[in-house]
A and B are shown apart, each in its own frame.
Chain A
């Protein structure tokens, strides 16, 4: 633990460490799907190590007291937890806006009813593609798309708003227009078109997943047009491919500024990939309060403010716009978590990153699935 934030004035603290807005609860790493771009870490946490129902509920309560408004129940597949309904009810009782992030596998109509009655606010359903063969190949799960479409129909019946989340990569990116149509047919109010990010298991499939620059440009155009055409009907959130972009993404809205993650075993992370930064030590909500972890832990303070930055970030007028980009990507490609994100056009590694991307986008070597 550090004293760094303890000696700051109230104003300064509010500026560099405001109360968190959102929390992602990775209830479990168990999942029936085997997506090649899985963002969970290479080493999955075992079911026997998972937090108990009571421990999760305590974390929800602490989060709500600290100012968290949005709770995302995620995984793995959160429906793999038998206590999902109980956890949802508890989160709603804490006043949290409760979002279920699901693959759609493991929730039948009766269980969905129970979740609806518990007060679930929102469902985010992942889709791997628009046609059965391709979608099921990506998910590594036969019959997956059918079950997802069925869940979307049930969600629509309950009146719970639905978001469709489509992770895009080279083999499905050309289908984005069809994905936008499908999302509307399913009654979704929101669609996330998220270009694959290379963390966790996705790194193993970098070559097979990397989109071409042409695909990325076409997708950006499609999304911009659809946003205009569908205004008031479908909200589209778009995560473009940062490797081809000029500016890096404002990863997490800045390190430990907006949200936090809790992994299945209670480790509290500033983002889901933070464990890839080797020198960071993570506190566990089993032993330390969420409040102390958020405001006073070394890890949460590691990249807050701008003192940690190097050039070209340090003197950049965008340093409070994109916060230097993604720390995990800086670690992965520059080998230094305090470096400028190599996705930034001002990074000395940008041209290397572009070369790498276009080279990888030309290699067809098939998917490597987790545990298979």
Chain B
């Protein structure tokens, strides 16, 4: 597997064909992608919500650290692990 390299300045976004959707019938938030549906927990949803195509990873961590009143280091680890997982599955891309 090729190693995914992320830096503080990486801008990660949802490419066309991957959407966040409110699944009203099952009362949850999901990612819909080609032939896939993935349920998001509150934290996952909060992270993806911040990816607006402009914010860097450092920006996202900063916002979430404030929102959850938690150390940046911890939030940073969670965000990177979550984003790497979704990059590996093709649900996110890195802006070049």
Contacts and interface: CB of A to CB of B under 8 A. Distances in A.
Asked if A pairs with B, the answer is: yes
Interface of A: 19, 21, 65-67, 69-70, 95, 97, 99, 121-122, 124, 158-161, 163, 189-190, 228, 231-233, 235, 237
Nearest to B25: A67
Given A67-B23, A69-B37, A190-B35, A161 B16 contact: yes
B34 A232 contact: no
B35 A70 contact: yes
Contacts of B45: none
Contact of B15 (A161, A228, A233): A161
A249 B25 CA distance: 28
A121 B17 contact: yes
A69 B89 CA distance: 19
Nearest to A65: B25
A163 B35 contact: yes
B21 interface: yes
Contacts, number: 64
B23 to A, nearest CB: 7
Given A121-B17, A189-B17, A231-B88, 16 more contacts: A21-B37, A66-B25, A69-B23, A69-B37, A99-B34, A99-B35, A121-B34, A122-B34, A159-B16, A160-B17, A161-B16, A161-B33, A189-B34, A190-B90, A232-B88, A237-B35
B66 interface: no
Interface string B18-34: 11010101100010111
B21 A95 contact: yes
B26 A189 contact: no
A233 B89 CA distance: 8
B87 interface: yes
A22 to B, nearest CB: 9
Interface in B55-94: 87-90
6 contacts: A19-B26, A67-B25, A70-B37, A95-B21, A159-B15, A232-B88
A115 B32 CA distance: 19
B55 to A, nearest CB: 21
B39 to A, nearest CB: 11
Nearest to A158: B16
Interface residues of B, number: 22
Contacts of A233: 2
B90 A235 contact: yes
A12 to B, nearest CB: 17
B16 A232 contact: no
Contact of A231 (B2, B17, B21): B2
A122 B19 CA distance: 11
Nearest to B88: A232
A305 to B, nearest CB: 20
Contacts of A160: 16-17
A71 to B, nearest CB: 11
A232 B2 contact: yes
A231 B1 contact: yes
Question: In the complex, which of the residues B1, B25, B26 has the most CB atoms of chain A within 10 Å of its own CB atom?
Answer: B25
Contacts of A66: 25
Nearest to A233: B2
A163 B16 CA distance: 13
B32 A97 contact: yes
Question: In the complex, which of the residues B19, B30, B90 has the most CB atoms of chain A within 10 Å of its own CB atom?
Answer: B90
Contacts of B15: 159, 161
A76 B54 CA distance: 42
The 6 closest A-B pairs by CB, nearest first: A67-B25, A161-B17, A97-B32, A231-B1, A159-B16, A122-B34
B26 A67 contact: yes
Contacts of B23: 67, 69
B1 A228 contact: yes
B25 A70 contact: no
B1 A97 contact: no
Contacts of B2: 231-233
A107 B2 CA distance: 36
A19 B26 CA distance: 8
A122 B87 CA distance: 18
Contacts of A159: 15-16
